[in-house]
Amino acid sequence: MAPSSATSVFISRIRGLPVLDAAGDQVGKARDVVIQRRPAGRAPRVKGIVVEQFARQRIFVPMSWVRRLDALQVMITGPVNTRRFERRESETLVIDDLFDATVERLDHPMGATIFDVAMRPVRTPEWELSEVALRDEAKPGRFGRRGHHTTIVDWSMIKMLSVDHGQGIDHLLAQLEDMKAADVARELHDMTPERRAEVASALEDARLADALEELPEDEQVQLITALDVDRAADVLEEMDRDDAADLIAELAPELAEVLLARMEPEDAKDVRRLLSYAEFTAGGMMTPEPLILPPDATVAEALARVRDAELTPALACMVYVCRTPLETPTGRFIGAVHFQRLLREPPSTLVSSLIHSDLEPLVASANLHAVSRYFATYNLVNAPVVDAEHRLIGAVTVDDVLDHVLPQDWRGTQLDGLAIASPVSRG
């Protein structure tokens, strides 16, 4: 079979190439290519290149940093992470693990051995394996000799290999501990359903909750239903209320009710309230826990609340002033103050004197189109939502809006591509 794309690069030709940084200095030499298996027969994703430095230490360079790859060199951008490369549970090394491995050809009755593998770019900056160079064992000839026939086939024409790296669950959990939630979600996304359930059962509740929020809805449902009911309720309590409500709304009504009954009463109350609003409305998108202060609060008090590490950046950027009670639904909503205004005022100034007078709050029934126009008009990342009595019932953040504006499978598409590279995560 002819190569499927002129841009395919055989990995044996990469080995030993000098790897140069943006300044043209040699970082080391390419040693291997790291791939990650994907379910449903999809070609493995290329995560990056293992580079051997001059002291024989191996480091990892993500494919998102590869600016140019040709027959003479590999050019990269971004800061070089000199942390020693360690293979993760879901990763395979092409040269070390796949070369000389025996595979089954789906279009041929005889076995074959891999002697090279090609990869190709599918979209910036994602690469995947495309073709396999195989050596087939020929039948004995007239004089009993066996010959060898070489051929190149598409990756989909071989039976996927199962490579055991001898890496246990404890080692994997230790690696996940250092990752951001989006990177943990990426690792879970690329695992088989069985392995995903195994890892999820071993993660701490808060860690799993953060990762769940970054997964596509169908995978969220698969994971939460694979947990026992009490554990699932504990994880839902750790999630942001709006994300927990979105997930529960996707479950069978019987299971949803069981989980709500097992959650702490206050947490379940917030989730039930969010579930009472239509999905594509301000009420359905909002979080019921914005930053709320009384009218007599000072700028110093407001900034102290803004510094709370538990607040997301989107929620921390806006302070809402309301009459008591200060938990949603609050007393009468008075107004909002952006944190940049707080930074420009004396600490003793009352927050209520700084209210943004032109900002009209959203109503819970506002549809997605109205909410989107509202954010565009006021250039906001956080907007108040009030009920008919003008009580603050929550806030919509820009990420809530994007979750509903983007295609339904956007999380899966994002997780299939490489993450923005950082010195800490390999995505």
Indicate which CATH number applies to the domain containing 360.
3.10.580.10
Identity at 339, one-letter amino acid code? F
End position of a domain, from candidates 100, 127, 157: 157
Let me know if residue 212 belongs to a domain: yes
Global confidence as pTM: 0.56
Report d(CA 415, CA 426) in Å as an integer.
Answer: 13
| Residue 423 covered by a domain | no
Number of domains in the chain: 3
Is residue 414 domain-resident? Answer: no
Domain that holds residue 191: 169-276
Residue 138: pLDDT band with limits 50, 70, 90: low
Residue-wise pLDDT tens digits, 207-223: 899 999 988 888 899 99
Between strands 91-93 and 102-104, the pairing is unpaired
Decide which of 97, 124, 157 is a domain's last residue.
Answer: 157
The residue-averaged pLDDT of 267-280 equals 91
Q: Check whether residue 255 and residue 358 sit in a common domain.
A: no
Helix or strand run (H / E) with residue 242: helix 241-249
- Tell me: do 141 and 39 sit in the same domain: yes
Residues 107, 234, single domain; the answer is no
**Owner of token pair 């001898």:** 166
Same domain, 146 and 225: no
**Same domain as 153, residue 15:** yes
C-alpha 251: how far from chain center: 22
417 located within any domain: no
Q: Is residue 57 assigned to a domain?
A: yes
pLDDT of 410 above 70: no
| Residue 413 banded pLDDT, cuts 50, 70, 90 | low
Q: How far is CA 255 from CA 105, 232, 260, 375, in A?
A: 44, 11, 9, 35
Assess if residue 410 is contained within a domain: no
pLDDT band at 40 (very low <50, low <70, confident <90, very high): low
Please check the confidence at residue 160 and state whether its pLDDT lies above 80. no
Same domain, 248 and 340: no
CATH of the domain at 224: 1.25.60.10
In this structure, is residue 218 part of a structural domain?
Answer: yes
Provide the pLDDT for residue 177.
Answer: 73
Residue 266 sits in the same domain as residue 336: no
> According to the model, what pLDDT value does residue 172 have?
67
Residues 86 and 127 in one domain: yes
pLDDT band of 169, cuts 50, 70, 90: low
Residue 79 and residue 174 in one domain: no
Same domain, 225 and 204: yes
Between these two residues, 294 and 412, which has the higher pLDDT value?
Answer: 294
Residue 415 has pLDDT above 80, yes or no: no
Percentage of the chain lying above the pLDDT 90 cut: 47
What confidence tier does 162 reach under pLDDT thresholds 50, 70, 90?
Answer: low
| Least confident segment among 116-130, 150-164, 220-234 | 150-164
Order of all β-strands in the sheet with 318-322: 292-293, 318-322, 333-338
355 in the same domain as 300? yes
| 98 found inside a domain | yes
Q: Verify that 252 and 130 share a domain, yes or no.
A: no
Q: Cα(94)–Cα(245) distance, rounded to whole angstroms?
A: 42
The domain boundary, picked from 157, 186, 207, lies at 157
Residues with Cβ within 8 Å of residue 189, at least 6 apart in sequence: 215, 216, 219, 412, 415, 416
